[in-house]
Amino acid sequence: MVVKNICCLGAGYVGGPTCSVIALKCPEIKVTVVDKSKERIAQWNSDKLPIYEPGLDEVVKACRGKNLFFSDDCNAAILEADLIFISVNTPTKTFGNGKGRAPDLKFVEGAARMIADIAQSNKIVVEKSTVPVNAAESIMKILKANQRPGVSYQILSNPEFLAEGTAINDLLNADRVLIGGEESPAGEAAIEELCQIYEHWIPRKKILTTNTWSSELSKLAANAMLAQRISSINSLSAVCEATGADITEVARAVGLDSRIGPKFLQADLFQLTGFGGSCFQKDILNLVYICECLNLPQQAAYWQSVIDMNEHQKHRFTAKVIESLFNTVSGKKIGILGFAFKKNTGDTRESAAIYVAKTLLDEGATISIYDPKVEDAQIYEDLKYVGVSSERIASHVSLFRDAYTATKECHAIVICTEWDEFITLDYEQIYDQMMKPAHIFDGRKILDHNNLLRIGFHVETIGSRLAQPFKNRRYSTNVQTL
Ligand code: NAD
Ligand code: UDX
């Protein structure tokens, strides 16, 4: 079989960009991305795509209506597909067995049942969602139990390694593509079909093939090890503050060791408010749960500590904000710059900004929020989800369209996302319209702290001690001119 028709179940952050790039690079293949959410599909077919991702608009515009289609007709797309990607969400379970740790596989199971119900010809089913080890086996069980005569399936694991904000570049220039499959002639043939799709733009030596379980575990392992690096550097940030060392210097010195390397230690990427995003926490919890189920308590505890350190870091950062504001934020106005979990995305899933905002609101602060890409409705939804009442949102939360109005008359600014535009703001102007003393908490270590101190700000960050201005700038300027 040569794949001519691809269907992707799930038009989210992974399904949308991944299939858009496949359509771009494989013009002879018809790619249909389907979702059970009609609203999401309508957005994919509009001028305002449902997700913000640099470069995505251009790719979609180049292919949509030619060989790339977004549809809510899942049945038709499944029927005509030779190969089906399952790119549905796999959130952490919020109830029942494994609550708070195990991934909820109901959407994967739902997708498998849908395929089994509808398929009338042979299909290669590709697990693109991040799943626990052995999920392919469960999918196969569902498919086989509902198999029509004459229809056969092959299941492949093909985890996605893209990061949000750089998805298109990550897809076009992937470090590697990983494909796991059954160790049989039919399994190998299916792997080869998927290899041929990626070979349109990824060199063969970067396409790794392995068995299904290794592939599934590799995805969890990669995310766990990336997150572990951030927790490690964040744990050292506390040691720096206690000793007078500077985390930026430590990270640079450590990263220059070629065995370690600078990525995910880079000062300008530090998530000193704790890492966020839809994947890290969920996937490590998944790994912890697997270890527990396999009766490997020490291994479970080791990976759990990566999450615990991240929780501690979020708490440490927010506690620092409150402590520096004379131990009370009640009645104070605080400007939060950035709500997305990282720059170049409008995604707020597990964003540390949600925790910061909730804690400040619980302590009685009024907050003003500005993020260049996050929709207002999303911010309200996130705050409600963590238990902030509608009344408190109405009375204590304001959303703004720019950083200058968001920070007006604030006692403090908290930088939660490393958006480039925050680096080049006119902080003199911002300072002038803030309450004094004016505080800035740089949760991303992106600002020029010497400049801020010169202006008169009290600057706090994580991972280094900063000398604070004891005099108000305006006062000292006046003294000089007298
Ligand atoms: P998402 O929530 O953005 O998108 C998932 C979509 O699947 C939703 O739109 C939902 O409506 C749809 N869906 C659910 N069940 C369906 C069904 N039966 N038929 C059709 N559509 C269905 O999720 P995402 O961020 O794209 O993540 C998808 C998977 O990829 C997850 O397992 C995640 O862990 C993994 N992953 C995500 C990233 C990332 O950066 N977001 C990176 C790598 C891997
Ligand atoms: C992550 C993985 O990187 C990606 O391979 C996987 O497919 C999905 O999960 P993503 O969550 O989109 O991607 O973004 P990533 O760049 O990994 O950032 C995750 C969190 O770590 C963000 O909150 C980010 O700010 C933080 N981070 C990242 C740091 O704190 N420091 C760094 O050096 C890098």
- Report how far residue 106's alpha carbon sits from residue 94's, in angstroms, rounded to the nearest whole number: 12
Q: Which of 170, 202, 234 is the last residue of a domain?
A: 202
* Ligand 2 probe mutation, 235, 254, 266, 271, most atoms within 8 A of CB: 271
* Ligand 1 probe mutation, 7, 8, 9, 13, most atoms within 8 A of CB: 13
* Ligand 1 probe mutation, 34, 89, 142, most atoms within 8 A of CB: 89
Q: Which of 165, 181, 202 is the last residue of a domain?
A: 202
- Chain-wide mean pLDDT for the chain? 93
pLDDT of residue 265: 75
pLDDT of residue 448: 95
pLDDT bin (cut points 50, 70, 90) of residue 90 is: very high
Q: Using an 8 Å Cβ cutoff, are 77 and 15 in contact?
A: no
pLDDT above 90 (res 476)? no
Task: Say yes or no: 480 and 426 in one domain.
Answer: yes
- Report how far residue 139's alpha carbon sits from residue 147's, in angstroms, rounded to the nearest whole number: 12
> Which among 49, 279, 36 is positioned nearest to 20, based on CA atoms?
49
Q: How many Å lie between the centroid of ligand 1 and the Cα of residue 108?
A: 10
Instruction: Identify the domain containing residue 155 by its residue range.
Output: 5-202
Structural domain count, the chain: 2
Q: What percent of the chain has pLDDT over 90?
A: 86
Task: Say yes or no: 272 and 181 in one domain.
Answer: no
Angle at 335 between CA 331 and CA 340, to 5 degrees: 130
- Following DSSP, what letter does each residue of 359-428 receive, concatenated? HHHHTT-EEEEE-SS--HHHHHHHHHHTT--HHHHHHHEEE-SSHHHHHTT-SEEEE-S--HHHHTS-HH
Task: Say yes or no: 36 and 104 in one domain.
Answer: yes
The DSSP code for 278 is: S
What the block records as the tokens of 375 is 């929709």
Task: Estimate the crossing angle of helix 297-324 against helix 352-362, to 10 degrees.
Answer: 50
Q: How many Å lie between the centroid of ligand 2 and the Cα of residue 277?
A: 7
Please state the rounded mean pLDDT for residues 216-225.
97
- Which residues does the annotation mark as catalytic? 279
pLDDT of residue 474: 46
What CATH number is given to the structural domain containing 383?
3.40.50.720
Q: Using an 8 Å Cβ cutoff, are 155 and 133 in contact?
A: no
Task: Say yes or no: 187 and 231 in one domain.
Answer: no
Task: Say yes or no: 171 and 316 in one domain.
Answer: no
What the block records as the tokens of 117 is 């119900």
**pLDDT tens for each residue of 408-455:** 999 999 999 999 999 999 999 999 999 999 999 999 989 999 999 999
Task: Say yes or no: 121 and 237 in one domain.
Answer: no
H and E: helices and strands count for the chain: 20, 14
pLDDT of residue 71: 98
Residue 277, classified by CB atoms within 10 Å of its CB into exposed (0-12), middle (13-18) or buried (19+), is buried
Q: Which ligand is nearest to the CA of 130?
A: 1
pLDDT of residue 13: 97
What the block records as the tokens of 294 is 């396999």
Sign (positive or negative) of CA dihedral 146, 152, 157, 159: negative
- Report how far residue 78's alpha carbon sits from residue 34's, in angstroms, rounded to the nearest whole number: 9
Task: Say yes or no: 430 and 411 in one domain.
Answer: yes
Task: Say yes or no: 13 and 154 in one domain.
Answer: yes
User: Which residue lies with its CA nearest to atom 5 of ligand 2?
Assistant: 161
Task: Say yes or no: 149 and 271 in one domain.
Answer: no
User: Which residue lies with its CA nearest to atom 11 of ligand 2?
Assistant: 277
**pLDDT tens for each residue of 17-50:** 999 999 999 999 999 999 999 999 999 999 999 9
Q: Which of 202, 226, 260 is the last residue of a domain?
A: 202
What the block records as the tokens of 236 is 């050292």
> Which among 265, 18, 241, 243 is positioned nearest to 128, based on CA atoms?
18
Please tell me the pTM assigned to this model. 0.94
Please state the rounded mean pLDDT for residues 238-261.
91
Range with lowest mean pLDDT among 36-40, 89-93, 123-127, 143-147: 143-147
Please state the rounded mean pLDDT for residues 213-224.
96
Question: What string of H, E and C letters represents the secondary structure of 418-444?
Answer: CCHHHHCCCHHHHHHCCCCCCEEEECC
pLDDT above 60 (res 373)? yes
Name residues contacting ligand 1 (CB within 6 A): 9-15, 34-37, 40, 74, 87-90, 107, 110-111, 114, 129-130, 160, 162, 164, 278-279
Q: What percent of the chain has pLDDT over 70?
A: 95
The DSSP code for 82 is: S
Task: Say yes or no: 227 and 165 in one domain.
Answer: no
pLDDT above 50 (res 271)? yes
Task: Say yes or no: 167 and 87 in one domain.
Answer: yes
**pLDDT tens for each residue of 327-364:** 999 999 999 999 999 999 999 999 999 999 999 999 99
Task: Say yes or no: 312 and 337 in one domain.
Answer: yes
Q: Which ligand is nearest to the CA of 251?
A: 2
Q: How far, CA to CA in Å, does 134 sit from each of 214, 216, 222?
A: 10, 8, 17
Single-letter amino acid, residue 28 = E
Q: How many Å lie between the centroid of ligand 2 and the Cα of residue 17?
A: 17
Complex ipTM more than 0.90, yes or no = yes
